[in-house]
Every structure is written in C-alpha cells, then in structure tokens.
Structure 1
Amino acid sequence: MKKRVIGSVVAVLLLGGSIGFAAGTSIIGSKVTGTYSIEQNGKKIADAAIINGTAYVPVRVMSEATGTSLSVEGRKITLEKNKDLTTIISESLQDTVEMQLLQKKNQLAKNEDTLKILAKTLEDGYEDEKNSNYFKFESTEGFVKTTAEIKRLTEENEKLKAEISGLEAQN
C-alpha cells in the first residue's frame, strides 16, 4: 500500500513539474505588454510584440531584412545566410587562383620530366629502343638544339616557380 502511495506521489510530482515547465516556456495566452517599431534604413518594416519583457519579431520579416533565406519544414524553421556579391566574387577569385596554381604546378612537373629526358639524351647521345624520347645525334645540330631546349626549359621553370610563389602568397 505504501508503495502505491509513494508511486502516485512521485508520478504527480513529475507530471506536475513538466506541466509547470511547459507553462513557463510558452507564450500562448500571455499578455502583450507593449510593442516596438522595427525600421530598416528609416522605413518601418514590422512591429515587435513585448511579452514578459522579451521582444518577439516576425521571422520572415527579419530574414528578409538581414539577407538570410528562410525555409519552413513542418514545425522547423531554418535560416541560412545568403552570400553577398563580395563573398561570391572572392570565392570565384580564390577558385581562379587555385586553378592557375594547379596549372603552373602541372606545367612545372611536365618541364622537369622533359629536362630529365633531355639531360639523359645529352649524357648518352643514343637512341633508346624502349623510350622513343631519346634520339641519336646525327650531327652537332641535334646537340645544339637539345642544349638550347634545356636552357629554355630551365628559364621557364624559374619563371613558373616565381609565379607559383606569388599565387601561393595570394592563396
């Protein structure tokens, strides 16, 4: 018998506490004690209701005024910050810099591979049957062209490295 009485008292206390909490957090049925006028750029856009010392503002009006997008799904309201033009341009430029950086790094790697092949060709001076990139020097003209190409690629690589450093600094 005592167990039933104690159980009933505990249930009443728990249930009563949750009802009291729900009543304390709800504004339904509460009295509006005042209003504030909400303005944007000197133009009235809405009124805020003052209930229990707190200002309540229409969510859609505030989302439009602050540039956020609003979506309602069932009983859930979601606000997401819209990107302004400056952010969009900044992200676009960032993507462009990253793309240029990638292209420069790829060109540098390609040049480095070509330089290795040309250096090996100068060193060996013969045609490798497995790798058609090597060629036999029939005359000094081939040697001179290979040397000039190595010089050109080396200079190009120095420029690429400087450009890469500049782009990485921007990034």
Structure 2
Amino acid sequence: MLMLSPSGNRHIWDNNNGLRKMDKNFILDIAVSTTDPRNNKEFLWISYSMNNLSPAKCERAYWMTLEKRCLSLFMENGYDLQTGAWFCLISANLYSWEGLALSSWKFADSFVKEKCWPHVTATQMRTNILIWYIKNVIPAMQSLPDDEKTYSSLTLLEDALTLLG
C-alpha cells in the first residue's frame, strides 16, 4: 500500500510485517540536478551529519531522519551525486539489500550522465565521491543480513556496480 508519511515522503508499507520498503518508481524518477547544492542548508546539514556519524547516532530513527532530509533535498533540487552516495549508505541501513541495490542503481545511472552535478568535467570531485562510496557503502554490505538477499536485488546491485566500473 502506498502511503504518504507525515513529512509528505512516499513509502510502501508491507502489511504482512509492517516493514517499510522503498518506492522504486519514486526513487528512479527523481530528476537529475545540474546545480551545485553546496550552498543549500539541507545539503550542509546532511554533509555535516554524514561526516560525523558515530555508533550512538546510527540508530534506525537517525537513519530515517537522514533519509527524510535527502529526499527533501532531492525533491527541492534534484538528484546530485554527493547526496546520492550518502543516500546509498542510508538506504542500505534502512532497507537492507533492496535499498542498497535500488539506491546504487540510481547512483550509478546518474554517475554516467554528464548533466548530473558535479558535471563530468569535474573529475576530481566525481573521483572523491566515488571513493567515498567505495570506502563507506561497499563495506556496509558485510553487515547486511544474508536472509534478506533476493535474486532481483543482487542482480540490480551487480548491474549498478558494473555500470560504475
């Protein structure tokens, strides 16, 4: 069942066990941003939060707050690669393999598009974002539960990593 949360974000709720699942179409349909978000207050808050993560902050409620802020930024400005990389880690923590696969696909697809900020000519910035993804998102896979792996999520994740390669 598709529902709007109190914040206005769209989510799918699984009535069988009450777990939230990502709205695949919503994530994939977020427009790509061509503008630099670094002067946006929401971006700066997310940046500070992601660069100051600690075990005490990494509870589910905190990840949900980070997700809400990322989605708000995406809705306001469109999808940029830096926020997208952070969103991959957030999605892995909230939605396990499915979230990691879907957010990584959006990240990889946007990474190969020249229009997505930072522009393809900003090679050092793009390299730094990709390095952050590799150092933070890839290791997060080790903590994801094996019983939540599905063929479709693993296939989508493999396709995303291939696209990045």
Question: Which TM-score band applies after superposition, normalised by the shorter structure?
Answer: under 0.3
TM-score by length of structure 1 reads: 0.24
Structure having the higher Rg? 1
* Higher RCO structure (Cα 8 Å, ≥6 apart): 2
TM-score by length of structure 2 reads: 0.24
